[in-house]
Amino acid sequence: MARRALKLASWTSMALAASGVYLYSNKYLDPNDFGAVRVGRAVATTAVITYDYLTTLRSVPYGSEDYLQLLSEIHDLFMSFDDTPLGAASLAQVHKAVLHDGRTVAVKVQHPKVQVQSSKDILLMEVLVLAIKQLFPDFEFVWLVDEAKKNLPLELDFLNEGRNAEKVAQMLKHFDFLKVPQIYWELSTKRVLLMEFLDGGQVNDKDYMERNKIDVNEISRHLGKVYSEMVFVNGFVHCDPHPGNVLVRKHPDTGKAEIVLLDHGLYQVLTEEFRLDYCHLWQSLIWTDMESVKKYSQRLGAGDLYPLLACMLTARSWSSVNRGISQAPVTATEDSEIRNNAATYLPQISQLLNHVPRPMLLIFKTNDLLRGIETTLGTRASASSFLNMSRCCIRALAAHNKKNACSFFRRTQFSFSEAVSLWQISLHELILRAKALRLAGWVSALLHWLLPAPR
């Protein structure tokens, strides 16, 4: 059965002439995702993949014996198969189908020749990067090639994607609002992945959420909790949370809002040392402990460029970092200042990215994608999101300390300290909510006084 599923990859590639754009740096480590750097991209045009489809299609004439044989393979596997893809990306496309037992599934099929073409594109990318390095010695993005070489084989192995999906579903099973598609292993191969079909609207589709009465603030909080748990507590991070991979919906039975997390091909596994230093750094940024910001930024390889690392992680200006990133929201003026200064600091940004640990690169990309979603929803940099991050940091650091404690008394001390810190955060959150309600009351009273009801 698995062998037949593998044949499906070639059949689907012949039946569909959907094109894709193969953008390595956009898929893995697009410097635009750092919100500050723009570099040249190695691309294969849409025409290349389209040509692959058309030439393969011509090799099996419509109505021929081979065509009918391939068609029978599909009917052996599925009761119905939708030829029109639900979505297409650089590596694969996804179709909706129904198995003979009535289960509705999503079928992810790898594009033809993508593995062969990928090796050529990495070589091209390497040549271009080295050539630019010769012309511009300050250009220090050679690490882009190393990261592409490491990550691409993982994304091309759909069995690896299935294992990641199961791991993260188990890891975050305590979040009843999170849904990860179930994998059907008996019909999956390295190039074809069959999984539970889950529908919904994209996480940045505010109109969809309004129509379905889904609270955007609730979704933003849930998404923040999921990623804080991944990064700070578990060190296993989904690194491609663009809107097409994060859906929202109402549960068909309970009516509660859910987040559906798709495309589990690329995860970053954080070492314990990196994860704990990153926890300390974010705690320092949230609570404006500038000495600790310097200390833990330097532990993460920033050196004297620690202010730049802090700005890149938070997407805030250095003056805002010093005032406290949770004290005031991002303004249009601050955003404009960051964009205008990006080109000025390009050499320093290049130097920093070349020296931080490799996991930080995908963390940058992930942060930027999440920040883009929050900006679209209008929930960016809310105090509650920082408090949720701080909770996860406290839990992660406490768990590490308790694991390494040499006595029951020390473990009890750490548990007590953790409980007190979490209580302080809850109290701070309660005060913020009370202030918000009081402010809302004042605004309502002021409007009532300025605009009395008509007689």
CA R_g for the chain: 25
Q: Are 148 and 122 in contact (CB under 8 A)?
A: yes
Strand-pair partners of 109: 93, 192
Q: How many CB atoms lie within 10 A of CB 318?
A: 13
Q: Count CB-CB contacts under 10 A for residue 17.
A: 13
Structural tokens at position 427 = 């109290």
Non-local (6+) Cβ contacts of 441 within 8 A are none
Q: How far apart are CA 282 and CA 389, in angstroms?
A: 8
First to last CA, the chain: 76
Pick the closest to residue 276 from 172, 386, 359, 354 (CA basis).
359
Spatial contact of 117 and 48, defined as CB atoms under 8 Å apart: yes
The CA distance from 122 to 150, in Å, is: 11
Residue-level length of the chain: 455
Q: Which residues are catalytic, by number? A: 240
Grouping H, G, I as helix, E, B as strand and the rest as coil, residue 269 is strand
Measured between alpha carbons, how far is 311 from 104 in angstroms, rounded to an integer?
Answer: 45
- Collapsed DSSP state (helix, strand, coil) of residue 280: helix
Instruction: Give the integer Cα–Cα distance in Å for 309 and 213.
Output: 39
The one-character DSSP state at 113 is T
23 class by beta-carbon count within 10 Å (0-12 exposed, 13-18 middle, 19+ buried): middle
DSSP bridge pairs for 108:
94, 193
Q: How far apart are CA 363 and CA 275, in angstroms?
A: 11
